[in-house]
Amino acid sequence: MSTAPSNPATALRCPQCQQGGLRRSRRRRGDSLWHRLFYSAYRCRACRARSWRFDGGRLVVIAVTGAVSASLAVVIAVGMGGGPGPHQSDASSPEPAPPNAPAATPRNAMGSEAPKEMHLAAHPDLPQRAEQGEAQAQSSLALAYLKGLGVTKDVRVARLWAEKAALQGDAQGQYLLGWMYLDGSGVLQDFKTALKWFEKAAQQNHAEAQYRLGLMHYNGYGVGMDKSKAYFWFNLAAAQGQREATAARDRLLPLLTAEQIAEAQRKGLTWKPAAAKP
């Protein structure tokens, strides 16, 4: 569906036939949320083609409403004596900022992926296995300390175990370490280091790391902004059933050219997971 030009001199001309006048058209069930929020629908009286015109007034209203809501949230948080915790969305958990952003809802990287078997109450031998150098046990122990699963939450101890696992090439350990550098939990926030560990885990086909890596490329955190690479990593993660990546990939499509999409998809078809590397 074509979008009507925003030039005032041609705003009332059909973008298809360039002749007929435009009249307002009703919104349809299949119209995207982006168009519903920021565009007005029109139909040509001559050729009957349907098109859209950007409505700046709506953008201003939404921006003002969002700013007021954000200010109120800050006031409430300060009044209650605390800022956003590790399970809340904040600036260190980056999501695409522009309108039409791939990820509509900020989400904590450690959200609901924690397997039940990582709880120390169910696996009391986990510390011993980790001490003996088992990489999977080390990353599991890191997650337990990071989330407080059967043990007192301690992000510094979590970082130490995640680092031990990551240096052995464990993808989960690399992902956890990348997230900690991204979030600034237990370490100084460092986007380039976060990017490095996300890349290592993503190359081993770790879906969550691939999704986070896509967001890093989309936002330009630790690397230059590259929507094509963001689509590539979103697409790989989505192929494994990562729901946020699927939504991000689909929202990114209108921002790419057909050539960029085709090239990213060709690369995805030939991509192969790498062996574990520290």
pLDDT in tens, the chain (278 residues): 545 444 443 456 677 676 667 777 776 766 676 566 666 777 777 776 767 666 666 666 666 676 666 666 655 554 444 333 323 333 333 344 333 334 333 334 444 343 334 566 667 788 889 999 999 999 999 999 998 888 889 999 999 999 999 999 999 999 999 999 999 999 999 999 999 999 999 999 999 999 999 999 999 999 999 999 999 999 999 999 999 999 999 999 999 999 999 999 999 999 999 877 77
**Do residues 106 and 203 lie in contact, with contact meaning Cβ atoms separated by under 8 Å?**
no
3-class secondary-structure state, position 204: coil
Task: Please tell me the pTM assigned to this model.
Answer: 0.59
User: How many Cβ atoms from other residues are within 10 Å of residue 202's Cβ?
Assistant: 27
39 - beta bridge partners?
54
**Do residues 165 and 173 lie in contact, with contact meaning Cβ atoms separated by under 8 Å?**
yes
CA 114 to chain centre: 18
Buried b (16+ CB within 10 A) or exposed e, 231-245: bbbbbbbbbeebebb
Q: Nearest CA to 236 among 255, 220, 217? A: 217
User: How many Cβ atoms from other residues are within 10 Å of residue 253's Cβ?
Assistant: 13
**Do residues 229 and 265 lie in contact, with contact meaning Cβ atoms separated by under 8 Å?**
no
Strand order in the sheet with 50-54: 22-24, 39-44, 50-54
